[in-house]
Amino acid sequence: MIVLATVVVTLAAALHIGIFVMESVAWSRPAVWKRFGVTDQAAADTTRPMAYNQGFYNLFLAIGAIIGLILLGVGLHAAGLALIYFTMASMLAASIVLVTTGRGYVRPAIIQGVLPLIGIVLMLFS
């Protein structure tokens, strides 16, 4: 079960790295900002600093999960699990907050929150 849990946590981290790339690196591309519901270039330019910041938030959560997996792998189980649980719970909590912003955000919230939720459950039962 720990192998499956590790794979799911890794996938959650990879997803958040992808979100980082979209928000902090590729935000100026219309295909990217339209994916986030931004309607025009002027709005994309206005929200770019916020997206940039938000992207780094996602990157830092991904890095935390990866460091947690590394710590777990080298035998520092308590520290590794604590970091994994914290980052997965933060990702899950962010998805719940996203749902509260409107019905149009249910799908992105599910995408953002399912892997961390599964990761938490699998880690608990490993």
Confidence of residue 96 (pLDDT cuts 50, 70, 90): very high
Q: Could you tell me if 8 and 119 are in contact, meaning their C-beta atoms sit under 8 angstroms apart?
A: yes
The per-residue pLDDT for range 11-65, each reduced to its tens digit, is 999 999 999 999 999 999 999 999 999 999 999 999 999 999 999 999 999 999 9
Domain ranges of the chain: 2-124
Closest C-alpha to 57, from 94, 86, 84: 94
